[in-house]
Amino acid sequence: MLIMEDSSSCSSVVTGPPQASVLQRTLERLSSTQCLKLRAEEAAPLAVIALQRYLSEQSEGQQPDSYSYDVTVTDGVWRAKCFVHPDLNHLVHKNTLRTGTDVYITQCSFVYNERRLGHGYICIEGLRCDAQGSAVLPRINDVSSLPMLIRHGMERSLVLQSDVPLQVKRKHYLSLWNNDDPEGDIWTSGCAPSQTVLDVSKISLLSSLDLSSRNTWKPLPLLVKIIHKSRLRYYGKFGLKIDYPYQAYFEVADQSGTMSLVLWNELCPKFYQRLNVGTVLYLQNYMLKQSYSSRTRPQMDHHRMKTFRSIEICLNPRNPASVITVVSPKSVLPQWGLPEVSYQFTTRSEVDKLTNNSTRDVIGLVTFVSRVERVKCKVNKGPEKYWTYRWVHAVDGTSDQPFILELFSSSQAEIFSRICPMTYLVCTQMRVCQVEGSLPYLTSTCETEMLITGYHKGQPYVNDPRVKSFIQWTKTLKDNVVLQKTAVGGHYCYPHPPQIFTQSMADASAQVPLVSTGDLKKELETLHYREHKKLAIQGQITAVRYMKNPKTTQSQPSEEVSTDVCEQAVPDPHNHPSAAEETSADSLTSSPSDKSSASSRKRRIQMHKAAQSSLSRGGTPTKRGLRHKNAQEEQEQEEDESNSEFEEVQHVDHSLQSHNQNQDSSVLCWESSSWPKQREDTSEHLCQGGVYQDSISRRFTFDEKNVLLRWSNLQPTRWTAEQTADSIPPARCPGYYQVTILGINKKIAFDAAYLPVMRSDDPRAVGLPQDPHGNTMLSCLSSGFLCPLRDTVSHSEAPLPEPEEILVTASELEDTHVVCIVDLCHLGGDEVEILINKVYRVTEVSLD
């Protein structure tokens, strides 16, 4: 007999499911065996509909993984929440095991909790992951209506029926990809403020609070207004016996000044999302303690109020239990003397003059949003954790340049994930970063609050003069004009590297780490999903190949995992479209402005015909080079006949790339004369780097808004039907260069992609130094762009050199010692992005 939990969380005994169920059969078989191993023909697809993370329980005699995972799967008849064995955690780290896809369980067991009656769960010990979409989910109308499969005798287990971890020592889930965002049903929001009549005749002012008398003094209530709110801090660690180890800081004010307030532990899930800037609180049973001096604080000079920093107000769930009353805005009286919330908005035209590390508020119209990435937090102790962040460009009409904003998650997951072009974005308490060689940018702080269109109503800043001025400016804009300047997702890194690479012996933390190729291999192996790292490697460039299309992960048969699921994709030198196919694809996307310069480009190509032979080893054309030359002549003839465009970017889709698997006639390459011998002597060649579909930004449209947001955000914790509703729009890829770099000791080589900036409206062009250069291979790698991006006379896109024109100059790389700055990012599954950010000559390197 099985227990079915319906969508209203009420359990009832049923004799069985309405139809045959893989999950039911698996659970029945587990009743008679300790460990169940399923043959390939027995395994059936189960769709992953939820993947949830929490701090691991510490086992005796062994160091556990920092975090554990519960996965909820369905066969279309039942749902079952299962525990993921720690040996499979790497599948989550790489986003191979993820929501919206199918898995095949190959080994599992049923685990009873020996310290609690009536509690147990399925532990998945082996599985195969299907990298493609789900075969199960399209058959399900409402996944939440499916009954939850629970073993007979465990129907009264609240854990099995609640949004809490299967490991009973943990009481709550964490956000899947960071520790800053609230996650789960325990977080309360949207409760109506209290209408209770308050006795404000006997209250304390902040100025009257005295730490020295805290042991004998019974505090009177406080009546304060929140003027700043920090993001959540999770301080959970092994051995800490606190169910909800959270902390959140607020800055509160009354007529006498401002003071810090700290919300502790269980009070965070209950109140954090209800307490916002401008909220009025009536506080009782609070505690006072000495302030923690090392924490960050918001900049509040513009409030022009006295700040009391020696003590802080503590609100605790017990000993004593603080009483927090959220006062309705309609009940707030002017005679209470509570101050107004003030802001310090700055315009883009003023940012260049602001001092480094000063703090300002900004408002702008978003034009670009990068994909969400993660960076590992440097912690000396405790479990590892990641910060999630994204880059945003926003304009306010006061400058030709946008605000460049680095936004870390601020415990506002719903807002952070919905930032998109054409929305009005307000960010408070942003820190100014003045950097050499790049435009200044602003980065978020612990006290930053973000608000977008749909959340501005009723906010204290709506009547700020600069906000009103911005709104007036936006009324002069036309959507179709602004949309042409928008972009979403793709690779983006800021600030740009300085002109001189300096290795500081005194301050190693202030620079890009210079690592060996052996270290690079370790970094690639340990990189987690969407984790970004910037590294410097010295060596020499031994080969360059021009690639027309982004790489795609080929569909592989699902593979059983108890180690790695898939091997890293290896670049295929034959994975390129033919010249004729390229011409056909290009002609579909050519624009009149690009066609106007077609003849000049053809003339440049003809001028370089004789130089094509240098694109080979030792100055002798390779067979591949000759094949390309013949194909190029045929292509030029077709261009003359059809007036199609060679350089214009092409729409790339999976079917086209699959069709062109065995075409190699478009490959352009250069190799160092010493590379064939050096290649034989290398111990390893790391080939997984490249440009993928996720590396390239897309133009934003309102029709594709939701699918673009899902694509640029991190993999969701829970599956929704919208996840598979639409496909991602194809990338517009201008081509890229695959560069082979041999380490300085000539033992390990690796491939990295160079994706140059080729248009002035590329988000990566913002703030990029655009000093003229000769478009040699080395000068392009050093500058990051093809010159010029814009015609200074017509102010239109300028005709750029062809790949063969650039590669013909690659011989200057021969035996040249360089330092390469590379960006690493794990895109999920097999895809590891290795992109060259900048190449330094040895004359551009210094020791400090």
**What pLDDT, in 10s, does the model give residues 273-291?**
999 999 999 999 999 999 8
Please give the average per-residue pLDDT across 678-687, as a whole number.
94
Query: Do 157 and 31 share a structural domain?
Result: yes
The residue among 599 and 503 whose pLDDT is bigger is 503
CA distances (Å), origin 498, targets 278, 834, 838:
42, 20, 9
Q: How far apart are the C-alpha atoms of 735 and 546, rounded to whole Å? A: 7
Query: Do 226 and 331 share a structural domain?
Result: yes
Fill in the DSSP letter of residue 468. Answer: H
Q: Which residues contact 283 (CB under 8 A, 6 or more apart)?
A: 221, 222, 223, 224, 261, 313, 315, 322, 323, 324, 325
Q: Which residue has the tokens 């004593």?
A: 320
Q: What is the largest CA-CA distance in the chain?
A: 95
Query: Do 368 and 234 share a structural domain?
Result: no
Q: What tens digit of pLDDT does each residue of 27-64 get?
A: 999 988 889 998 877 889 999 999 999 999 876 545 55
Judge whether 780 and 836 are in contact, CB under 8 Å: no
Query: Do 329 and 215 share a structural domain?
Result: yes
Structure tokens at 52: 């949830």
* pLDDT at res. 560: 56
Query: Do 78 and 30 share a structural domain?
Result: yes
Q: Which residue has the tokens 């302030």?
A: 291
- Angle at 516 (CA atoms; ends 515, 520), nearest 5 degrees: 80
Range of the domain at 93: 22-170
pLDDT of 309 strictly over 70: yes
Q: Of 421, 359, 346, give the one whose Cα is nearest residue 390.
A: 421
* pLDDT at res. 456: 96
**DSSP 3-state of 652:** strand
Q: What tens digit of pLDDT does each residue of 457-473 get?
A: 999 999 999 999 999 99
Fill in the DSSP letter of residue 211. Answer: G
Query: Do 319 and 210 share a structural domain?
Result: yes
Judge whether 375 and 385 are in contact, CB under 8 Å: no
Other beta carbons within 10 angstroms of residue 461's beta carbon come to: 20
**Can you give the CATH number for the domain in which 64 is found?**
2.40.50.140
> What integer best gives the mean pLDDT of the chain?
83
Query: Do 421 and 326 share a structural domain?
Result: no
- Dihedral pair phi/psi, residue 543, rounded to 5°: -160, 150
Q: Of 369, 493, 495, 501, give the one whose Cα is nearest residue 834.
A: 493
Judge whether 42 and 49 are in contact, CB under 8 Å: no
Query: Do 368 and 305 share a structural domain?
Result: no
Q: Of 339, 137, 349, give the one whose Cα is nearest residue 226.
A: 339
Q: Of 840, 493, 837, give the one whose Cα is nearest residue 689.
A: 837
Alpha helices in 341-449 (DSSP H): 348-351, 413-416
Q: For 302-338, b where at least 16 C-beta lie within 10 A, e where not — what string?
A: ebebeebeebbbbbbbeeeebebbbbeeeeeeeebeb
Structure tokens at 589: 């996307």
pLDDT of 650 strictly over 90: no
Q: Which of 145-154, 401-410, 411-420, 508-517 has the lowest mean pLDDT?
A: 508-517
Domain-located, residue 241? yes
Alpha helices in 42-161 (DSSP H): 89-93, 158-161
Q: What tens digit of pLDDT does each residue of 323-376 get?
A: 999 999 989 999 999 999 999 999 999 999 999 999 999 999 999 999 999 999
Domain-located, residue 799? no
CA distances (Å), origin 741, targets 310, 344, 395, 736, 738:
55, 48, 39, 16, 10
Burial of 687 (0-12, 13-18, 19+ CB in 10 A): middle
Q: Considering only CA atoms, give the Rg of the chain.
A: 30
Q: What tens digit of pLDDT does each residue of 793-837 get?
A: 666 777 889 999 999 999 999 999 999 999 999 999 989 999 999
Domain-located, residue 697? no
* pLDDT at res. 141: 85
Domain-located, residue 210? yes
- Angle at 268 (CA atoms; ends 266, 272), nearest 5 degrees: 155
Query: Do 367 and 308 share a structural domain?
Result: no
Q: How far apart are the C-alpha atoms of 185 and 680, rounded to whole Å? A: 58
Domain boundary residue among 420, 453, 488?
A: 488
Q: Which residues contact 115 (CB under 8 A, 6 or more apart)?
A: none
Q: What tens digit of pLDDT does each residue of 137-151 get?
A: 998 988 989 999 988
Q: How far apart are the C-alpha atoms of 705 and 690, rounded to whole Å? A: 27
Query: Do 210 and 114 share a structural domain?
Result: no
Judge whether 147 and 76 are in contact, CB under 8 Å: no
CA dihedral 84, 85, 87, 91 (to 10 degrees): -10
Domain-located, residue 585? no
Number of helical H runs and strand E runs in the chain: 18, 37
- What secondary structure does DSSP assign to 270-313, as a single string? HHGGG--TT-EEEEES-EEEE--TTS-----GGG---EEEEEEE
Q: What tens digit of pLDDT does each residue of 750-777 get?
A: 999 999 999 999 999 999 998 999 999 9
Q: What tens digit of pLDDT does each residue of 476-508 get?
A: 999 999 999 999 999 999 999 999 998 877 666
Judge whether 612 and 626 are in contact, CB under 8 Å: no
* pLDDT at res. 98: 95
Q: Which residues contact 481 (CB under 8 A, 6 or more apart)?
A: none
Domain count, the chain: 3
Structure tokens at 753: 């992609």
Domain boundary residue among 336, 367, 393?
A: 336
Domain-located, residue 792? no
Residue 320: is the preceding peptide bond cis (ω within 30°)? yes
Structure tokens at 446: 């612990």
Domain-located, residue 322? yes
Q: How far is CA 602 from the centre of its chain?
A: 41
Domain-located, residue 458? yes
* pLDDT at res. 217: 65
Q: For 498-528, b where at least 16 C-beta lie within 10 A, e where not — what string?
A: beebeeeeeeeeeebebbbbeebeebbeebb
Judge whether 542 and 749 are in contact, CB under 8 Å: yes
Q: How far apart are the C-alpha atoms of 161 and 150, rounded to whole Å? A: 9
Domain boundary residue among 448, 473, 488?
A: 488
Q: Of 628, 608, 734, 621, give the one whose Cα is nearest residue 671.
A: 621
Q: What share of the chain is helix, strand, coil (3-state, %, to 5)?
A: 25, 30, 50
Query: Do 139 and 45 share a structural domain?
Result: yes
Query: Do 152 and 245 share a structural domain?
Result: no
